[in-house]
Amino acid sequence: DIQMTQSPSTLSASVGDRVTITCRASETIGDWLAWYQQKPRNAPRILIYKASTLESGVPSTFSGSVSGTEFTLTITNLQPDDSATYYCLQYNTYPYTFGQGTNLEIK
């Protein structure tokens, strides 16, 4: 199975900051990676798919990139509403696997 190692597990930042979250795949997955945002008591919401394609309706303050097997989610100009847990998902091969999650707190 492909392992997705996500870091950091927790992150604290201030309004207006820029933050990055990383997922590293245990083997090559091309650009078959998605990023999700999940708020308490809600289902995950798609932010980015195919490593860097922004889902319609998602603010352009979110962006994704890939270098080899390392994937990055960048959030610029942080807003209080960005407080959430973020997950990556590799969908190259079943069993699909998620990263462990990053809990982002806005100070």
Q: Which residues bind another protein (CB under 8 A)?
A: 32, 34, 36, 38, 43-44, 46, 49-50, 53, 55, 87, 89, 91, 94-101
Q: Which is nearer to another protein, 22 or 38 (CB)?
A: 38
3-state helix, strand, coil in the chain (%, to 5): 5, 50, 45
Residue 64 beta carbon to another protein: minimum distance, rounded to whole angstroms: 12
β-pairing verdict for 33-38 and 45-49: antiparallel
Comparing CB distances to another protein, the nearer of 17 and 55 is 55
| Minimum distance from residue 61 beta carbon to another protein (Å) | 20
Closest CA to 102 of 84, 89, 76: 84
CA–CA separation, 83 vs 12, rounded Å?
A: 9
* 51 within 8 A of 71, measured Cβ to Cβ: yes
Q: Residue 3 CB, nearest distance to another protein (Å)? A: 13
Query: Closest separation between CB of residue 1 and another protein, Å?
Result: 8
In the complex with another protein, the residue whose CB is nearer, 28 or 53, is: 53
